[in-house]
Structure 1
Amino acid sequence: MERSKERDGSDKPSGQEPTSEAPGVTLKRQIGLWSAVSMTAGCMIGSGIFMSPQGVLAYMGSAGASLIVWATCGFLAMMGALCYAEMGSLVPESGGDYAYILRIFGSLPAFLVIYTFVLVARPAAITAVSLSFAEYAVAPFYPGCSSLPQVTVKIVASSCILLLLLINYWSSRMSTMLMNVCAAAKVFSLTVIVVGGVVVLAQNYSGTEFLRFSFHNTTQQAGRIGMAFYQGLWSFDGWNNINTVVEELKNPKQSLVWSVMIAVPLVTILYVLVNISYLLVMSPSEILTSDAIAVSWGNQVLGSWAWLVPLGVVLSTFGTVNAMFFSGSRVCFAAAREGHMPQLMSMIHVHRLTPAPALIFTTAVALVLIFPGNFSTFVNLLSFVSWLTSGTTFGCLLYLRIKTKNLPHTYKVPTVIPAVMLLVSLYLVLAPIIDHPQIEFLYLFLFVLSGVPVYFLLFHFQCQSKCIQTATMHLQLLLEVVPTTKDR
């Protein structure tokens, strides 16, 4: 990122005066194709493959059905990513879902997206991955324990969040270097598990016994199948993350397509092979009762080298949380220049050039969510929000196909793909609610609705009190932050 001394008055948030003297931030186009592939794969490979296999198996009831779910999740992620690549070529702006919904459906729906993202989705995602980081970091210190002390787990998760806040606050370059190191750890961890499964199979063919009863006890309930897909698709979450940084891609129209066409199939193959490796070494009942499945696998296969697995998983999940802090600021910038976020949230540190207020706020919400929540609950709620938003984006693409002719396409998917993905999104949103309703879904729905009066009071009618303006000024001085801008 480079400093910019010019501000375009048309990009200022509504109700604010342009400040030409204030330094801003301009994002440079410095992400090439292979960096885009690395970013896509790195965002997808996080805590899910080390935590979600238990959830998928529990909801589906059989090993064979769970493997089908994993493969299908990869196929759905691929189709969804191709739709997003087309949307990115039609609306070449950073911000992902927020930018597309804003341009197609207008201000209020876009505000509800960013309202949910900033206050729930991003902090809860950070919390969920931090909890999985903590479980794998703590597990080696409690050998033989079937249940880890939750107080210790949550203290370690809180420490992870605070440490990454300091790193992202201190230096964007330091955060980027950490992402590169952790990306290598992700691939290493999965490769060790896949190779270990191959060795076990070569030494003992009896490990394939799970195939004899692979579909025994498979569930037929639509709601449970939907919840299984929630768990599996969580592991693929990040397939659309490259769309949040479109303005930083060197050749966005080509990089968007090729990055997902390379990254998503590779991650899918790795995930299926890792699940097969788990099943070759552990019985379904052992998988369901393990707090840290990869650690349990390592103890049985690697012997004295078992510590390599938790170390790799810890680095992997740590890097994922770091990436969430980093990429989330891009969405904040996109919303701030449209006037859909408080002015303070769009500011950066005057010396560090990091989004300090947004980072601090996200950290505070994530820490609040640490203690009452658990990984499985967060995954289900985040998947609900994610597919509700993604379904709206697929609707945006279909709307453009129907209402607008002669679009400047450089890349186009068959219309049946966004139509199918819209139906899949509706199923994933409605089926768990209808078949297995949970009070958390109602709370989340009411929270989204609460964004409507907030939008009209604070942004549509500009009902911002002098107290808020004064507080913003004092916090700006305290945190040493200045407004930001983006060149279009």
Structure 2
Amino acid sequence: MLSTSIYCHTRNDSGKNDTGNVHTTSPTLTFALLFLGNIIGSGIFISPKGVLEHAGSVGLSLIVWVCGGGICALGSMCYAELGVTIPKSGGDYSYVTEIFGGLVGFLLLWSAVLIMYPTTLAVIALTFANYVLQPAFPNCLPPFIATRLLATICILFLTWVNCSSVRWATRIQDVFTVGKLLALVLIIVVGLVQICRGHYDALRPSTAFEFSQDPSVGQIALAFLQASFAYSGWNFLNYVTEEIVEPRKNLPRAIYISIPLVTLVYTMTNIAYFSSMTPEELLASNAVAVTFGEKLLGMFSWVMPISVALSTFGGINGYLFTSSRLCFSGAREGHLPYLLAMIHLKNCTPIPALLVCCFATIIILCIGETHNLINYVSFINYLSYGVTIASLLYLRKKRPNLARPIKVNLLIPIAYMVFWAVLLGFSLYSEPVVCGLGMVIMLTGVPVYFAGVWWKDKPKWVYRIVEKVTYVGQKVCYVVFPQQDPSEMEPLTASKATD
């Protein structure tokens, strides 16, 4: 029998903390690689087509990629302040719950658990399966069942790895992040060689801004939404703040290293694409990297499918790592079943939360095509980002004397909020059904919140069922509640006395 009064807070013989913290010889580099692994994934192989389609020209699409990185930099600076001011894992959810209260935080949690992370994981897993199977089906698309089966196997395997060891998960992330960066370097180098040989017709200023359609603010907003799918993950290091060694120092360092590097890699990768493909060829391609490899690598074109597979494999691992921590944080706040706030007695990994993320992703994999949900995911993502950064502005006004180890210039969150309002407003105007449905999905959490969280006096049989399920789940997963270190909240509690 596992008692919920047992806590997991142990040290091994070497003195290393086993509560889930990842101690390495270079923690900044480790978490910078984890950050890169979350951002760089299948998006750079999927989004270029959508960005170009909505931007309408090569030049404007490149501007969107650069500006997208700049917007991520502004947002990441704001998140760095929030991450060390409110040192709790859970990212957006934890900050909004702390500042705006339970309902707003629950709505972010609800939309993330219901659609954002499972759908994103499903899209990346399907991309992985398609690229792995493509060499076996050179003249046609891989079978529907085969791609779903391979994607499911990948999700199950990486869930097992994350359940077994935090260290294993970060080691996989390190290896595959380096591998996919090398693959992107190959694309960039080959593209630069092409440019040096004079193959840059699509990049000439005289042709780069030849629009295939009249540009509009609404279409540019949708181009930013498409690019945001590739950049998504820039805030995910805040989801594991409690597992970062010295977060006040290593969190901003990892962000400042990663965001400029990602922006440079994405922009140069798109330039490389246009060095070998016309805009029409890129729009007609269902696998941009494969088309690029076939045109330039000849007998070595098989490198591209393998490279994309490595990239997406690491991306799936990173998303599982961070999304499970969101479930963990939500359960710890009482917004999800308490079983999801428990960790394995020996491995100290959030097994129940990982299993929920895994099964939700598999369900979406079985529903059908998930690529159509990318716009929903991007819209909800940006909606969450804006609410979170608005909470920073509110906290500045409400508690000006709160201890802030990192304090950004006020113009940074204001500039982000202006861009956010313009982007979402024109996106909603251009795609009212897609974006409106994203808002509806989020608002369906309102009755769930009042029934499941706000309503305290439920019938006793409801509590008995919950207790029974929790007890069985503890036995099956061998999990207990983790011990919380009071010092984790020191910056917040210490400042309350001075406010």
Aligned to 2:401: 406
* Match of residue 470, structure 2, among 469, 472, 478: 472
Q: Match of 2:174, SS?
A: helix
Cα drift, residue 356 of structure 1: 2.4
Cα drift, residue 117 of structure 1: 1.8
**Number of aligned pairs?**
468
The equivalences for 1:174-193 within 5 A come to 174-193=168-187
Q: Distance in 2 between matches of 1:352 and 1:256?
A: 24
Aligned to 1:483: 481
Q: Distance in 2 between matches of 1:87 and 1:97?
A: 9
Cα drift, residue 193 of structure 1: 0.1
Aligned to 1:157: 151
Q: Distance in 2 between matches of 1:106 and 1:206?
A: 56
The equivalences for 1:344-423 within 5 A come to 344-374=339-369, 376-423=371-418
Structure 1 residues 481 and 19 mapped into 2: Cα distance closer, same or farther (>3 Å)? closer
* Match of residue 113, structure 1, among 103, 108, 119: 108
Q: Distance in 2 between matches of 1:119 and 1:178?
A: 27
Cα drift, residue 351 of structure 1: 4.5
Structure 1 residues 398 and 134 mapped into 2: Cα distance closer, same or farther (>3 Å)? same
Cα drift, residue 465 of structure 1: 3.8
Aligned to 2:6: 21
The residue type paired with residue 482 of structure 1 is: V
Cα drift, residue 330 of structure 1: 2.1
Aligned to 1:225: 220
1:320 aligns with 2:315: yes
Aligned to 2:15: none
1:281 aligns with 2:276: yes
Q: Match of 1:483, SS?
A: strand
Q: Is the 8 A contact 1:43 1:238 kept in 2?
A: yes
* Match of residue 66, structure 1, among 61, 69, 76: 61
Q: Match of 2:265, SS?
A: helix
Q: Distance in 2 between matches of 1:399 and 1:46?
A: 34
Structure 1 residues 102 and 160 mapped into 2: Cα distance closer, same or farther (>3 Å)? same
1:171 aligns with 2:183: no
1:30 aligns with 2:23: yes
Question: What's the TM-score, normalizing by structure 1?
Answer: 0.90
Question: 1:391-421 CA deviation, whole Å, 9 max, x = no partner?
Answer: 0111011112223323323332221210121
1:264 aligns with 2:255: no
The 10-residue stretch of structure 1 (419-428 or 181-190) with the greater mean CA deviation from structure 2: 419-428
Aligned to 1:426: 421
1:243 aligns with 2:252: no
The residue type paired with residue 150 of structure 2 is: V
Q: Is the 8 A contact 1:139 1:295 kept in 2?
A: no
Q: Could you tell me the percent identity over the aligned residues?
A: 36
Q: Is the 8 A contact 1:116 1:448 kept in 2?
A: yes
Cα drift, residue 347 of structure 1: 2.3
Cα RMSD of the aligned pairs, angstroms, is 2.2
The 10-residue stretch of structure 1 (116-125 or 206-215) with the greater mean CA deviation from structure 2: 206-215
Aligned to 2:120: 125
Q: Distance in 1 between matches of 2:170 and 2:258?
A: 19
Cα drift, residue 478 of structure 1: 3.1
The residue type paired with residue 197 of structure 1 is: G
Q: Is the 8 A contact 1:127 1:366 kept in 2?
A: yes
Q: Distance in 2 between matches of 1:256 and 1:480?
A: 32
The 10-residue stretch of structure 1 (448-457 or 63-72) with the greater mean CA deviation from structure 2: 448-457
Question: 1:116-173 CA deviation, whole Å, 9 max, x = no partner?
Answer: 222222211111111221222122222244x554443333322322222232233333
> Tell me, which stretches of 5 or more residues in structure 1 are unaligned?
1-17
Q: Distance in 2 between matches of 1:150 and 1:224?
A: 32
Q: Match of 1:200, SS?
A: helix
The residue type paired with residue 19 of structure 2 is: T
Aligned to 1:6: none
The residue type paired with residue 191 of structure 2 is: G
Cα drift, residue 352 of structure 1: 4.3
Aligned to 2:446: 452
Q: Distance in 1 between matches of 2:346 and 2:447?
A: 36
Q: Match of 1:34, SS?
A: helix
The residue type paired with residue 469 of structure 1 is: E
Aligned to 2:13: none
Structure 1 residues 241 and 93 mapped into 2: Cα distance closer, same or farther (>3 Å)? same
The residue type paired with residue 173 of structure 1 is: R
Question: 1:260-305 CA deviation, whole Å, 9 max, x = no partner?
Answer: 2221111111111110110010111111121211111111111111
Cα drift, residue 447 of structure 1: 2.9
Structure 1 residues 21 and 471 mapped into 2: Cα distance closer, same or farther (>3 Å)? closer
Q: Distance in 2 between matches of 1:206 and 1:44?
A: 30
Aligned to 1:13: none
Question: 1:92-114 CA deviation, whole Å, 9 max, x = no partner?
Answer: 22211111111111111112222
Q: Distance in 2 between matches of 1:384 and 1:193?
A: 30
The residue type paired with residue 359 of structure 2 is: A
The residue type paired with residue 421 of structure 1 is: Y
* Match of residue 333, structure 1, among 328, 333, 357: 328
Q: Is the 8 A contact 1:148 1:291 kept in 2?
A: no
Q: Is the 8 A contact 1:230 1:379 kept in 2?
A: no
Structure 1 residues 373 and 386 mapped into 2: Cα distance closer, same or farther (>3 Å)? farther
Q: Distance in 1 between matches of 2:139 and 2:56?
A: 26
The 10-residue stretch of structure 1 (420-429 or 91-100) with the greater mean CA deviation from structure 2: 420-429
Structure 1 residues 318 and 419 mapped into 2: Cα distance closer, same or farther (>3 Å)? same
Cα drift, residue 219 of structure 1: 4.1
Q: Distance in 1 between matches of 2:99 and 2:172?
A: 36
Structure 1 residues 428 and 160 mapped into 2: Cα distance closer, same or farther (>3 Å)? farther
Question: What's the TM-score, normalizing by structure 2?
Answer: 0.88
Q: Match of 2:233, SS?
A: coil
Structure 1 residues 171 and 86 mapped into 2: Cα distance closer, same or farther (>3 Å)? closer
The residue type paired with residue 467 of structure 1 is: I
Cα drift, residue 373 of structure 1: 4.7
Question: 1:298-323 CA deviation, whole Å, 9 max, x = no partner?
Answer: 11111111122221210110111011
Structure 1 residues 264 and 275 mapped into 2: Cα distance closer, same or farther (>3 Å)? same
Q: Distance in 1 between matches of 2:344 and 2:404?
A: 39
Aligned to 2:191: 197
The residue type paired with residue 369 of structure 1 is: I
